[in-house]
Amino acid sequence: MNMNIETAHLDVPRDFEVACGLFGIPVPGFLQLIVDHCCFIHAHMGDTSEFDMATKAFLEADRQLGEKEIKPATHLSESQRERFIRLLRQMVGTATNRNYSKSTRRKKGKVLAEKLFDTFSAGLEIKDVVYYDEETKIQLSKDFLLMTLLHQRTPIELLNAIMKRISYAELGARVHLKQEDYNPAMVFFTRVMEGYGGIRDETYLESEAFKIFLMDLQEFRARYFFYRNLEDRIYMYRERLEENYQRIKNPYLNEDYD
């Protein structure tokens, strides 16, 4: 699968914007959170943690972008290449060492990732921020930047690909039709939606508007039961979620909502 991805700037898809808005999640806050949870060591180990979901989300985003010819790192000297390979072997060894707890492996992996990044980026001009808007920036960790360098993707490419994978309309339709797919980005989003990371707008979550939305959401399965085709169900959910989003954003323009 090849995604049509904007590469010049962050491009927030409508489904992602609506999902964030309906559940009180700030878009830049979510992007910062998932970047902060990217751990290169989780490319070589797995668990059920948010760190694993975030890392696997970026790896899956890279696959969704399509095959890419990886060019050799000609900017590295022989000694730098040897150091990089040695550190990478240490990373894999740490990831597979069952004598360490998962949290200990992550801590050791972060130290190794910083060394790997510093070695690989020597002589390169690397920007460690991307801008959501003129005033809001996303700070990029060395773990995340290391993954972008090794996969030869730009941070913006990966972040845009991540956002394209987050759709509450698709999640709801797939769950209700029992057609779930592998989507670690959506798993990470649902954990944030349930409170992980503490970035939700708590005032909004206590509002009458949010309560009305949740009550409407509970009716989705029954209301659209006869739409058995996945794409049709996603379309209907998307339309209703959009109506909810517009009602919440413009409460005085939707008095006849039902």
Task: Annotate 138-198 with DSSP letters as a single string.
Answer: EEPPHHHHHHHHHHT--HHHHHHHHHHT--HHHHHHHHHTT-----HHHHHHHHHHTTTTS
The whole-number pLDDT of residue 6 equals 79
Tens of pLDDT along the chain (258 residues) come to: 556 787 789 999 999 999 999 999 999 999 999 999 999 999 999 999 999 999 999 999 999 898 888 888 899 999 999 999 999 999 999 999 999 999 999 999 999 999 999 999 999 999 999 999 999 999 999 999 999 999 999 999 999 999 999 999 999 999 999 999 999 999 999 999 999 999 999 999 999 999 999 999 999 999 999 999 999 999 999 999 999 999 999 876 655 555
Neighbours of 91 (CB within 10 A): 24
* Sequence-ordered list of residues with C-beta below 8 angstroms from that of 117, at least 6 positions apart, any chain: 142, 143, 145, 146, 149
Q: Which two tokens stand for residue 55?
A: 């890392």
227 exposure class (CB count in 10 Å sphere: 0-12, 13-18, 19+): middle
The whole-number pLDDT of residue 253 equals 60
The whole-number pLDDT of residue 159 equals 97
Question: In a 3-state reduction of DSSP, which class is residue 130?
Answer: strand
pTM (2 d.p.): 0.93
19, 162, 168, 184 from 230: Cα distances, Å:
19, 21, 13, 20
Place of tokens 């049709």: 232
**What's 251's DSSP letter?**
G
The whole-number pLDDT of residue 258 equals 53
CB of 42 closer than 8 Å to CB of 51: yes
CB of 132 closer than 8 Å to CB of 31: yes
* Residues comprising the chain, all counted: 258
For residue 49, give the nearest of 198, 188, 193, 197 by alpha carbon.
188
* Sequence-ordered list of residues with C-beta below 8 angstroms from that of 231, at least 6 positions apart, any chain: none
The whole-number pLDDT of residue 51 equals 98
The whole-number pLDDT of residue 4 equals 76
The whole-number pLDDT of residue 240 equals 98
